[in-house]
Chain A
Amino acid sequence: MLKIQEIREIIKLVDASSIEEFVYEADEVKVKLKKNSGIVISNHTPEAPKPIETVQAAPAVEAPVAKAAPAVEKQEAKTVETASTESLHKIVSPMVGTFYQAPSPDAKPFVQVGDKIGEESIVCIVEAMKLFNEIEAEVKGEIVEILVTDGELVEYGQPLFLVKEN
C-alpha cells in the first residue's frame, strides 16, 4: 500500500505538472488525484485488476506551447495552490478508547473548529482502561472539522479531526 509520504510526493509531482487527473491502482488500493477537487483515496477492490496507468502528459490547455503562452502558465500555477490546500490532514486515533474533547467534564475543550494548532498542540484525550493518551496534532494548521463527539468510543485508526495544513 502507498505510504502517506509517497502520496504526498505524488501530489507534489502532479501539482508541478500540467496533469489534470491522476489515477493509480494496485492490489487493493486506488488513488485518484484530480486538480480542483482535491484528493480522493479509496480502498475498494477494483472489479478486475488493471495494470498501473502510467502518467500521461495531458496538458490542461490544448495547443499552445509554453513559450507561446506565458499567461496560461501563470494561471495554472494558481490552480495548483488551491488544490493542495483542499487536501485535508486527518488526525486519527492511535488506539481503541473513549474520546474526550476536554481534560475534565467541566473544562473547556482542548480545541474547537477554527483553532490554529501547532505540531505539539494537544487536541484531545483517548482513554482505554484508565490509560489516558493525550493526542498531539503532529501537524501545523487549522482545525476544520471535529469528526467525533465527547465521550464517543473510537476505533484504532479512526479519523478524529480534519486539519487544513499550513
Chain B
Amino acid sequence: MNTPIKYEIVKRLLAAKDKPISGQQLADELQISRTAVWKYMKQLEEEGYEFEATRKKGYLLQKSPDTLDPSKIKALLETKRFGREIIYEESLTSTQTIAHQLAQEGALDGTLVICEEQTEGRGRLMREWKSQKGKGIWMSIIMRPDVAPYQAPQFTLVAAVALTYAIFDVTGVSPAIKWPNDLLINGMKCTGILTEMQADPDRVNAIIMGIGINVNHQQEDFGEEIASIATSLRISLGKEIDRAALVAKILYYMEAFSKQYVAEGFEKIKTLWEKNSCTIGNRIKATTLRETFIGKAVGITKDGVLQLLLDDGTIKEIISADIELEK
C-alpha cells in the first residue's frame, strides 16, 4: 500500500522535532510542487494537526491529533516487516484472541492487530485488563522468529527493553522495568505485556505479543480499584501523546531488538534490561501458584530468570511469579 503523501509530510516533521523544515525542502523530497505541499498542510490542519509556520525557516509540527489511522501508522514506520500488515478495528474483544486466529490462518511475521477499545482485555492467568476507548494502545504483534520453544521466553524481556526505548524516544519519559516485563513510572504500572506462543515441540510457529499501554488516560479515567497502582504516560508528561507515533516506534524497536536477540543471543538485551530495571537490588515478594518468596533481587541469569537472595542466604531462581516491590 502506498503511503498518502500528507503522512509523509507528518513523518518528516515528526523526525525533525524542533527543527523547522521549509516548504521547498518538503516539495523537493516528495517531488511535488510547493502549492501541493501547501494543500496537504491544509488537509492535515483539518484533521487536527497544528503547525507553526515561520517565514524563511519553514514548518514546525506543534500538535498531532491522536488517531490510530493505519495509514498514518504505516507512514511513520521505519521497519521492514513489523506493522506492514495492520488489522485495525474500533472495538475488539481482545487483540490477543484475534491475533491467535490470524496466526493460525497464516498471518505474516510482524502483523499488527490494534484497536481503540477492548471489551475483554486480559492479562496473566486470564485476569482482566482495562482497555478504555481511545485512551491507550491495545495491540498484539504476531512474530514468527526461527527459534526453538525454549528460546522463546526471552522475547518477553526483549519486549520490555523495546518498549522502554520507544516510550523514551517519543515522550522523554523513562519507565522502569519490573521483572519480567511490566513498565512502571514512579512505581505505578503504565504498561503490561502478555505473550503467548503457538509451537510444535521443536519449533515456534508464532509468538503473539500482547501489549497494553496506558497512554492518554487522566487520573479520573482509572477506576477506584486500580487508581492507586496505575498511571499513564500523559499523567507523567503533562500533555497528550500521539499514539500512532508511539506505535510506529514500538514496532521499530521490537523488530530491531528481536532481530538482535535471534542473531546474537540474549547477552546484549540482558545488559539493556538490567540498565532499565527497577527490580535488581530491591527487596521483592514473588508469589507463585504454590508459594511466596521474599528476598532481595540480585540479578537475572543469562536466560533472564530472576535470582532472589532469600533471607537464609540461598539463591532462589524464579521462572514464573507475580512480583511486588517491597516498600
| CB-based contact A100/B199 at 8 Å | no
CA distance A150 to B291 in the complex (A): 12
| CB-based contact B156/A107 at 8 Å | no
Once A94-B201, A134-B196 are accepted as A-B contacts, the answer to whether A151 and B288 lie under 8 Å apart by CB is yes
| CB-based contact A94/B319 at 8 Å | no
With a 10 A CB-CB cut-off, give which of B125, B155, B290 has the most chain A CB atoms.
Answer: B125
How many CB-defined contacts (below 8 Å) exist between A and B? Answer: 82
Provide the residues of chain A in CB contact with B67, threshold 8 Å: none
B235 within 8 A of A: no
**Binary interface encoding of chain A residues 77-113 relative to chain B, with 1 for a CB under 8 A from any of its CBs, else 0:** 0000000000000001011111010011101000000
CA distance A105 to B196 in the complex (A): 17
| CB-based contact A130/B319 at 8 Å | no
Provide the residues of chain B in CB contact with A138, threshold 8 Å: 200-201
Provide the residues of chain A in CB contact with B174, threshold 8 Å: none
**Binary interface encoding of chain A residues 130-166 relative to chain B, with 1 for a CB under 8 A from any of its CBs, else 0:** 1111100010000000000011010010000000000
| CB-based contact B195/A132 at 8 Å | yes
| CB-based contact B289/A150 at 8 Å | yes
Provide the residues of chain A in CB contact with B290, threshold 8 Å: 151
CA distance A63 to B291 in the complex (A): 65
User: What class of interface size applies to chain A in its complex with B?
Assistant: 20 to 34
| CB-based contact B289/A131 at 8 Å | no
| CB-based contact A98/B289 at 8 Å | yes
CA distance A127 to B194 in the complex (A): 11
| CB-based contact B150/A131 at 8 Å | no
Provide the residues of chain B in CB contact with A92, threshold 8 Å: 201
Provide the residues of chain A in CB contact with B289, threshold 8 Å: 98, 100, 105, 150-151
Beyond A96-B150, A128-B319, 6 additional pairs, beta carbon < 8 A: A97-B153, A130-B153, A130-B193, A130-B320, A133-B196, A153-B319
Report B's interface with A, CB cutoff 8 A. Answer: 124-127, 148-150, 152-157, 180-181, 193-202, 207, 288-290, 304-305, 319-320
